[in-house]
Amino acid sequence: MLITAADFSRLKKVSKPAVHKAMSNGRLFDAVIEQDGRKWLQQEKAFALWDRTVKPTTEDKNKSFKPKEKEGEEIPSFNESRAKREAMMARLAEIDVEEREKLLVPSEEVKNAWIQLVTIAKTKVLGIPTKAKQRIPDLDKGAMALLDEIVRETLEDLAVENVEAA
């Protein structure tokens, strides 16, 4: 049965320009017949050639590709995944801006600065008995040992291993 390009486009639910393009670039060459100065398509041949040579649309690709689902896990739709990705990218951009504005500091820098401050404080506190001896020259060795013991005990109390962040 012979049909026009317009009929073919209607039956295949594609645009007329797509059919004309397929005819002109040779994809439907074997199905084209010229009669009375007009081009006609042999319906079965044209359908077979079209189905064999057409590129899948995005919709067709989404239908044919289904990622494997893990047990009990539902795969989100493409748009949902894209929205999540865009939200994460926006959050990363915010973090980057905050870091550049020095509103956020890498945790390693904070940790190093904190260790440095604690070390300085420890050194200063350990120097208390020596400063006390300099300021109060008549402190005996027993009083100095007692001061040293109190300072070290206090530092050990502060040096708790399992400190939880506030």
pLDDT in tens, 99-132: 787 777 788 888 999 999 999 999 999 999 999 9
Lowest-pLDDT range of 72-76, 82-86, 159-163? 159-163
**Alpha-carbon span 143 to 158, nearest angstrom:** 23
Q: How many domains does the chain have?
A: 2
Whether the predicted pLDDT of 32 surpasses 80: yes
Q: Report residue 164 as tokens.
A: 């939880």
Let me know if residue 99 belongs to a domain.
no
**Alpha-carbon span 155 to 161, nearest angstrom:** 12
List all residues 6 or more positions away from 96 whose beta carbon is below 8 Å from its beta carbon.
none
Let me know if residue 73 belongs to a domain.
no
* Helix (H) or strand (E) run with residue 48 in it: helix 43-53
Let me know if residue 96 belongs to a domain.
no
62 or 144, which is more confident? 144
Let me know if residue 81 belongs to a domain.
no
Let me know if residue 94 belongs to a domain.
no
Q: What is the pLDDT of residue 36?
A: 83
Let me know if residue 150 belongs to a domain.
yes
Q: What is the pLDDT of residue 79?
A: 87
Let me know if residue 75 belongs to a domain.
no
Of 14, 39, 56, which one is at a domain's C-terminal end? 56
Let me know if residue 47 belongs to a domain.
yes
Q: What is the pLDDT of residue 85?
A: 92
pTM higher than the cut 0.85: no
Q: What percent of the chain has pLDDT over 90?
A: 30
List all residues 6 or more positions away from 54 whose beta carbon is below 8 Å from its beta carbon.
none
Domain that holds residue 140: 107-158
